[in-house]
Copies of this chain bind each other. A is one copy, B any other.
């Protein structure tokens, strides 16, 4: 039974690792947190090694002290179960805990993400610590939510996993004959005659069967999920009223977050855009995380106040960018703006990671001042912003299993990367000022006017039906090359590509030509415009569909490249190739026009200005974000808006400085 989080304020705080500092620092920490407008601290994420010193040896004294200081200072708690990294003595005592890597080599102690998800000793010890934490602090008045472990990930290939994998496969397939058929083990005569012959796909073993590889990923994602659930059960039993999260990592390949999300009370994630990330790349990930729990508000659990030590170049976030990106998260549904971490570590690997407080500990530093200013600002506006839901009628379909299927594929092109295709299409829509949800193909699609499914190679049962129903009802659907190739076990459809989507799209894709990295074909659109295209060029046979663009070069010059097929009340578009940005926008505009999708309040925005709308019972808020390093002007509809941040009335024109943000309400 889940808990509905109902935070009293926009969370502003982050990771706090007091155990790395002497006790003298803790009072100063609380004083500075207050100055920084922090209302929450996350700890002890990596506390295990300093809490449990032996099988029956515990030391909670330091944590008790820290928690009291925070509580006295008015700082609430995001309490970690502390199981994110095992202490040396545990790995030494219970070597079954250490996972085996993809080369088949067992790890030694050290680092994070080192435990096998099927280790019984890890299960016993981690739930043991979670129990201690819940029993000791579960009724503490400062406790706001639980944070299980940290950034789950990494795959294990040990014998414990092998055994569990075989059991998992027996349940999934029932018989070896069925498994042999689904994975096509007759290929290279690799047919199994006994379950015991199945091994995890380590690098010098069986890597030639996508069915096996994808299932191993499913199994490992589920295994870590079960590891998380084991701690969750402890917490739910002892503190049924406290909401629970674990921090996700956006487009993180190994974990199928769609499977994890239903068990969490609130989604949280760690956003670390690269130095040169585009606004739409960040927006895509926020939208994906928001879509995990049906649009429910979520937490920005970690962002760096300034630098990331593990990037190639630790560039500074420019003045205003941390604030801008914080509001971008809120614009996409976040009710929490949190940082990693409070104070720069005095040593070890993250010594140079950005932090609110630098080594010098000074509050007159630029970064500290920006954090403090944002804290104060959020405190002023949080009553209005809390709880709204992002309004959109566009859905992008995103599927982890499809990601694996696309990228385990041998062919058609080394440049075909699922996230890259997703980003390219998403950013074209972003340019048009449209916000989209990014959701599972298995989610309820009935509310959407436009559904986009890039490179949907794997079409699982029910998905084609659900898309068709939406299009039947008037929605537009857009899909691309390398869609409708295989079923859920990655066996090819033998009724012609794009398989179960063929009748919806009114086409047959006979073959697909891969273009080398710098190669281009041309597109001639029916409105006479011209574009370039790249990556793949499908040779499409029309079976009812109409071509809206044709190739201009090579032996398939003049053949259909992009098609549309009216279906029910709606229409289905097929991109047989990857158009350039102008071409993509042209197709999106057609689909938008047909399906009646509109921009928030109909406001048209300049390049790299983002606009979203969040709606709550208090009304509607427009978030307008200027991602440009120069001032912009936005023309508003002819009604009065109030700017929430500076409490000013805005008419006709909104002027935003470089990296500026406005939150507008019509409640003037």
Binding site for B on A (CB under 8 A): 17, 19-20, 46-50, 53-54, 82, 84-85, 87-89, 92, 101, 104-105, 107-112, 182-194, 196-197, 199, 201-202, 204-211, 275, 306-316, 318-319, 344-353, 358-362, 365-367, 409-415, 486, 489-497, 508, 510-516, 539, 554-555
Contacts and interface: CB of A to CB of B under 8 A. Distances in A.
A182 to B, nearest CB: 8
Given A352-B409, A514-B314, A46 B187 contact: yes
Nearest to A509: B360
Contacts of A311: 411
A414 B87 contact: no
Copies in the complex: 3
A108 B112 contact: no
A411 to B, nearest CB: 4
B410 A186 contact: no
A190 B359 contact: no
- A interface majority secondary structure: loop
A92 B492 contact: no
A409 B319 contact: no
Contacts of A85: 188-190
A531 B49 CA distance: 51
Contact of A359 (B92, B204, B352, B494): B494
Contacts of A101: 204
B361 A511 contact: no
B345 A193 contact: no
A104 B412 CA distance: 33
30 contacts: A19-B189, A20-B184, A46-B189, A48-B189, A49-B189, A49-B190, A49-B191, A50-B186, A85-B189, A87-B191, A104-B108, A105-B204, A110-B201, A111-B208, A184-B345, A208-B349, A211-B347, A307-B412, A309-B412, A310-B411, A313-B412, A313-B415, A314-B412, A346-B491, A352-B409, A352-B411, A352-B412, A359-B492, A360-B497, A360-B510
Contact of A108 (B202, B209, B351, B554): B202
Contacts of A413: 312-314
Contacts of A409: 351-352
A553 B384 CA distance: 39
A411 B353 contact: yes
Most chain B CB inside 10 Å of its own CB: which residue of A189, A315, A515: A189
B88 A197 contact: yes
Contacts of A410: 309-310, 349-352
Contacts of A188: 46, 49, 84-85, 111-112, 348
Given A189-B85, A318-B555, A412-B309, A495 B349 contact: no
Contact of A346 (B19, B307, B494): B494
Contacts of A48: 189
A208 B307 CA distance: 18
A57 to B, nearest CB: 9
Contacts of A202: 108
Contact of A490 (B50, B347, B508, B539): B347
Contact of A207 (B111, B366, B496): B111
B358 A510 contact: yes
Given A47-B189, A307-B411, A315-B516, A348 B511 contact: no
A369 to B, nearest CB: 11
Contacts of A88: 190-194, 197
Contact of A362 (B111, B347, B367, B496): B496
Nearest to A20: B186
A492 B347 contact: yes
A313 B516 contact: yes
A88 to B, nearest CB: 4
Contacts of A109: 197, 199, 205-206
A441 to B, nearest CB: 21
Minimum-distance CB pairs A-B, first 10? A110-B206, A49-B189, A184-B347, A309-B411, A108-B205, A360-B496, A352-B411, A88-B197, A187-B348, A313-B514
A92 B196 contact: yes
A17 B345 contact: no
A333 to B, nearest CB: 30
B50 A187 contact: no
A633 B275 CA distance: 51
Contacts of A353: 411
Contacts of A199: 108-110
Nearest to A204: B107
Most buried by B among A313, A365, A494, A539: A313
Given A87-B189, A87-B190, A413-B314, A360 B494 contact: yes
Contacts of A494: 346, 359-361
Nearest to A108: B205
Contacts of A414: 312-313
A264 to B, nearest CB: 24
Contacts of A486: 347, 351
A189 to B, nearest CB: 3
Contacts of A411: 307-311, 314, 352-353
Nearest to A319: B555
A297 B314 CA distance: 44
B360 A17 contact: no
A346 B204 CA distance: 24
A365 B510 contact: yes
A193 B313 contact: no
Contact of A349 (B82, B209, B358): B209
A183 B349 CA distance: 10
Contacts of A350: 187, 410
B19 A348 contact: no
Given A46-B189, A313-B516, A513-B315, A92 B197 contact: yes
